[in-house]
Amino acid sequence: MRGTIVIDENRCKGCQLCTYVCPKHLIGMAETFTPRGYQPARLFDPHGDCTGCLLCAVICPDVAITVYRTPRENRQDRAVATHPQTAELGSESHTLSRAIDEMERVQ
């Protein structure tokens, strides 16, 4: 699963809780200050490592973080290539994955 987050700096109070819980260490503090005088959290994810695990959003006491998730492309393709017996299953899973993609697109 690929993910990303958006931090609402108007809500963030700079408590840093999200920086501690991110298992990928992708959140740090900005060097700027908000109009209310807080140093807000910021996502630093140049390689797209966020998994959308939600931990940062759950821990945030100010509901300042929104998480977006999308299935990683080619995930089923890799499984098919590495294990021939998964080829048929991979095909079904790929169909399911595309169906989920479509459901998310229309929501």
- Region from 19-27, 70-78, 83-91, 97-105 binding ligand SF4, contact rule CB under 6 A: 19-27
Pairing of strands 2-7, 65-70: antiparallel
Which tokens go with 22? 């991110």
Nearer to ligand SF4, 7 or 80 (CB): 7
Among 2, 13, 75, 94, binds ligand SF4 (CB under 6 A): 13
Burial-class residue 21 by CB neighbours within 10 Å (0-12, 13-18, 19+).
middle
Say how far apart CA 4 and CA 56 lie, in whole Å.
Answer: 11
Per CB under 6 A, 2 contacts ligand SF4? no
Rounded distance between C-alpha atoms, residue 45 and residue 24, angstroms: 9
Residue with tokens 């931990």: 55
Q: Nearer to ligand SF4 by C-beta: 47 or 85?
A: 47
| Interacting residues with ligand SF4 between 39 and 78 (CB under 6 A) | 41, 50-56, 59-60, 62, 64-65, 67
Residues that bind ligand SF4 (CB under 6 A): 3, 5, 7, 12-18, 21-22, 24, 26-27, 41, 50-56, 59-60, 62, 64-65, 67
